[in-house]
Amino acid sequence: MVAIGFRAALMIQCLALGVGMEDLGAIAQSRMYNPIAITPGKSLTDKLTKNDIPTGQGGFARDYVIQLQAGSQVTIDVNSENFDSIVYLIATDGTTVAENDDGPDGSTNSLLFTRIAKTGTYIIRVRSFGEAAGGNFTLKVTLLKPQ
């Protein structure tokens, strides 16, 4: 009878530990990925560090979330004196809508122009090219009026 009581107590403790671990996992996941909301028309100054999203190529990335309307034309401008930037616009389903590595001026800054086909939430991903850890940068999103 003592063995049955011990087993029951052990199972309850394991169940409680398992539930607790699930809760901790959910908390950890929400802390791990939390893109920063960005407002069109305002410049944002930020810093890409080794604490951001690893790219798997030695560099790092940081994500921003933005709501965009179908038919909008958007410009995403990333400038940095510390690293060669790449910018991506990513749809809700994870597909890359558009990307840019180097600006039209021949610099290593990024300048992306695109038209939005579907209203929704998008991710703007700023990352460093190659194995550069990152550094300071400015990000500006501008909505252009359709013609």
For the stretch 55-80, pLDDT in tens is 888 788 999 999 999 999 999 999 99
State pLDDT tens for residues 123-135: 999 998 877 778 9
Q: Please provide the average confidence, as pLDDT, over all residues in the chain.
A: 80
Q: Which CATH number fits domain 36-144: 1.10.3080.10, 1.10.10.10, 3.40.367.20, 2.60.120.380?
A: 2.60.120.380
Handedness of CA 44, 80, 130, 106 (dihedral sign): positive
Q: Spell out the domain ranges in the chain.
A: 1-32, 36-144
How would you write 86-110 as a 3-class SS string? EEEEECCCCCEEEEECCCCCCCCCE
Query: For 74-89, how does the pLDDT look when each residue is reduced to its tens digit (9 = 90+)?
Result: 999 999 999 889 999 9
pTM of the prediction?
0.75
Other beta carbons within 10 angstroms of residue 40's beta carbon come to: 16
Tokens of 44: 């944002």
Tokens of 51: 């604490």
Residue-wise pLDDT for 21-40, tens only, equals: 444 444 444 457 789 899 89
